[in-house]
Amino acid sequence: MRKKLIAVVGPTAVGKTALAIQLAQHYKTVVLSADSRQFYREMNIGTAKPDSSELNAVPHYFIDSHSVESVYSAGDFERDALQLLQELFQTHDQVILVGGSGLFVRALTEGLDDLPQVPKEIRDRLNQQLAEDGLAKLQDRLKAIDPEHYAVMDFQNPQRVVRALEVFETTGNSIAFYQKGKQSARNFDVVTIGLNTDRAFLYERINKRVDKMMHDGLLDEAKELQLFRYHPALQTVGYAELFDHFEGKISLEEAVDKIKQNSRRYAKRQITWFKKYGSTHWFEPSELQEILQFLNQSEAS
């Protein structure tokens, strides 16, 4: 029997962490995080990391594994996670992967596409524009030249916006043109469980989560991270809005409202991504028994 990677995906605040822990306890296995921000030790409140009781419930990997002083890419994650899986599969038949960062999940489960080489001067110029003019101007430009890809990408991530622009400037093609390669061979099977629920209920959970983050000290956490504000992981929902507040662009109340609004928009894009890529089997977060029954059937088939 081939080893199995069970990927738990879906929008922010839907309940992926809780399900991943339940599955890991059921299979007596471990959890790998594919959240592009939970890698960083300094980013805690704004990334909704598992709390100490959750981390102690089952072994977790790729949480607090790096510092914001460096950038940890999807390619880095693919390399390291594949190597770790080879070790874990020696003692486990199943391993749980959890996260809402579609590119990182795809990197491990399918492999990344071979994108064209980009001249250094184009990359340097775009990064300089990002630092001087901010992300919004680059977002507007990408939306104008490549609206189809912009509609499904994480356009709050500056690294991905710059990457899409540099590919377009180099080739004249959308980056999506190069993201249609064949899946890379894996020596394990992948089963993807998608969690989704009523949109109004999900949005209510998102709003309450943001309120809890602010109560728990997200404002102070963002203040301590201002030095790294141009790090890709910090040009994201929950931090970028507070950086704008610190610069006097918006009030704190407006920043919190924008965090909620952008989190809801991000959740919508996450659902779109996971419906588009891979064979995702969708369940309500509360349907643990149905999920286990489905996984048992997939093992038997």
Question: Which residue from 94, 82, 98, 86 is spatially nearest to 7, judged by alpha carbons?
Answer: 98
SS3 197: coil
* Dist CA 1 CA 292 (whole Å): 18
Q: Going by C-beta distance under 8 Å and a sequence separation of 6 or more, which residues neighbour residue 79? A: none
Residue 68 marked as a ligand binder: no
Residue 156 and residue 141: Cα distance in Å, rounded? 14
Q: For residue 12, say whether it is annotated as part of any ligand binding site.
A: yes
Q: Is 95 annotated as a binding residue?
A: no
Inter-helix orientation angle 16-27/288-300, to 10°: 50
Q: Is residue 13 part of an annotated ligand binding site? A: yes
Q: Is 11 assigned to a binding site?
A: yes
Q: Is 119 annotated as a binding residue?
A: no
The rounded radius of gyration (Å) of the Cα atoms in the chain is 19
Coil, strand or helix at 62 = coil
Q: What are 31's strand-pairing partners?
A: 60, 96
Question: How many angstroms separate the Cα of 102 from the Cα of each of 55, 81, 88?
Answer: 22, 15, 23
- Please state the residue numbers annotated as binding site for ATP: 10-17
Residues at the binding site for substrate are 12-17
Instruction: Give binding residues as ranges.
Output: 10-17
